[in-house]
Amino acid sequence: MPDSAPKKAEIIQLYDDASPELRRVLERKLGNAADAEEILQDAFEKLLRLSDRQHIRDLRRYFFTMANNMALNALQHRDVEHRYRASQSARHDEHQDAPGPDRNLEANESLLRVQVALAALPERTRHVFLLYRSDGLSYREIAAQLGISRKGVEYHLRRAVAAVVDAMQE
Q: What is the predicted pLDDT for the residue at 22?
A: 95
Q: What is the predicted pLDDT for the residue at 96?
A: 58
Q: What is the predicted pLDDT for the residue at 95?
A: 55
- Average pLDDT of the chain? 85
Distance CA 107, CA 118 (A): 16
Low-confidence ranges of the chain (pLDDT < 70): 1-5, 90-100, 170
Contact 56, 62 (CB under 8 A): yes
Among candidate residues 170, 82, 133, the one with its CA nearest the CA of residue 125:
133
Q: What is the predicted pLDDT for the residue at 27?
A: 95
Cβ neighbours, 10 Å, residue 85: 12
63-67: Cβ within 8 A, 24+ apart: 63/11, 63/14, 63/15, 63/18, 63/22, 64/18, 64/22, 64/25, 67/22, 67/25, 67/26, 67/39, 67/40, 67/43
Cα-Cα-Cα-Cα dihedral sign, residues 83, 86, 92, 97: negative
Q: What is the predicted pLDDT for the residue at 23?
A: 95
Q: What is the predicted pLDDT for the residue at 1?
A: 44
In this prediction the pTM is 0.50
Q: What is the predicted pLDDT for the residue at 160?
A: 85
Q: What is the predicted pLDDT for the residue at 103?
A: 72
